[in-house]
Amino acid sequence: MRLPGRAMIFGTGLMGASIGMALRERGWQVGGVDTADGVAARAVELGALNDEGIDHRADLVVVATPVHAAPQIIAGIMGSTDWKPGVVVTDVGSVKGPLVSAIDHPSFVGGHPMAGSEQVGVEGASGDLFVGATWVLTPTEVTDPAAYALLRSVLADLGANVVALDPARHDALVAVVSHVPHLTAATLMDLAAGMGQEHAALLQLAAGGFRDMTRIAAGQPSIWPDICDDNAEAIVSTLDLLIDALGAMRRRVAERDHESLLEILGRAASARRTLSERAPQPEELVEVRIPVPDRTGAIAEVTVLAAELGINIVDLEIAHSVEGDRGVLVLVVDTLSAPTLLATLSDRGYRASSTPVGTSG
């Protein structure tokens, strides 16, 4: 298909309306609906949608409703002949495993834009929300490579850093970097607030560090029961790890174990400083060409592998080899990452080759 095309958005709150704005700024025709009265009309007013209503001619459908409403909408589209054949469908939920295994369709690719905002609802929407944000996609072995490549290129065009992950792996990782941190921030805030009722002075002492740590606890509580249900296993096991680690911290303090205290605080400090550094911007890029003749799930396997190796895919396309019937997956990565990627692909039985960008035939 030719891009930009037509997009349809279910749920035009903060996330859906922001996607609408970003797509429209890039020339897409965007339709949308929302179950809450007046929200889709407001999205039209704010420029997030061209029109309110369901557009069955859409090339891309984004389901940005509350998590519990998404499976039925997506299954409805996949099971209907009203929609354009091959329409690519994605969602924006924070937990991917249960949804992705329930849908299991070549044209559905689960998504999770890791962009937040202090704002809530359609009024807080912004077309810039995704610039520089990580946007996880969860292709599986049934995913149509063309659907994945389309969605990936649209999201990269919105400014997002697209990372492919296995759905279960995504859920385990976000438990660590998002769900448990949120629950911990809320727990700390509640502990302090409880003491603050007796000691008004306490909240006067809440300085920058405490404010930083508890900022996310100010977020909308209503989304959390769904997230906690869908990702219960990973959240519970991460909470167990955190509780154990805090118990070890308690022991270090109680036993005046300076050596071990300095070790963990030093390790955490250097890890945190690394997190602040921007990834090095490679001067040179390389095209890695990977023939994928008859391997189902090759696009999922290759893109997930790159993410697990920490390799950023700058560009991705599906080309066709001279033989005509064989696909070639073309990834653009930086020069330094290419040898690792090639070696790992070779271990997995792929016959990949690389050429500097600009010189390939």
Q: Which residues, numbered 272-291, are part of the site for a second copy (CB under 8 A)? A: 272-276
Q: Name the one residue in this structure whose structure tokens are 């295994």.
A: 101
- The encoded tokens of residue 166 equal 């296995």
CA dist 288 and 207 (Å) reads 50
In the complex with a second copy, the residue whose CB is nearer, 49 or 183, is 183
Q: How far is the CB of 12 from a second copy (least distance, A)?
A: 22
124 binds a second copy (CB under 8 A): no
Provide, rounded to whole angstroms, the least separation between the CB of residue 280 and a second copy. Answer: 14
Instruction: Compute the least distance from the CB of residue 252 to a second copy, in Å.
Output: 8
- Contact segment (CB under 8 A) with a second copy among 3-11, 91-99, 193-201, 293-301 equals 193-201
C-beta closer to a second copy: residue 3 or 232? 232
String marking each residue 143-162 x if it binds a second copy according to CB under 8 A: ------------------x-
Contact with a second copy (CB under 8 A): which of 27, 258, 358, 359?
258
b (16+ CB within 10 A) / e for 161-187: bbbbbbbbbbbbebbeebbbbbbbbbe
CA dist., res. 244 & res. 321, Å (int): 53
Of residues 46, 156, 168, 188, which one binds a second copy by CB under 8 A?
A: 188
Residue 54 Cβ vs a second copy, minimum distance, rounded to whole Å: 31
Structure tokens at 335: 């020069």
* Residue among 79, 221, 349, 358 that touches a second copy (CB under 8 A): 221
Q: What span, in angstroms and rounded, lies between the C-alpha atoms of 333 and 335?
A: 7
Question: What track of x and - describes contact with a second copy for positions 300 through 339 (by CB under 8 A)?
Answer: -------xxxxx----------------------------
CA distance 5 to 27: 8
Question: Mask of contacts with a second copy, 67-106, x by CB under 8 A?
Answer: ----------------------------------------
- Indicate the residue among 52 and 334 with the shorter CB distance to a second copy: 334
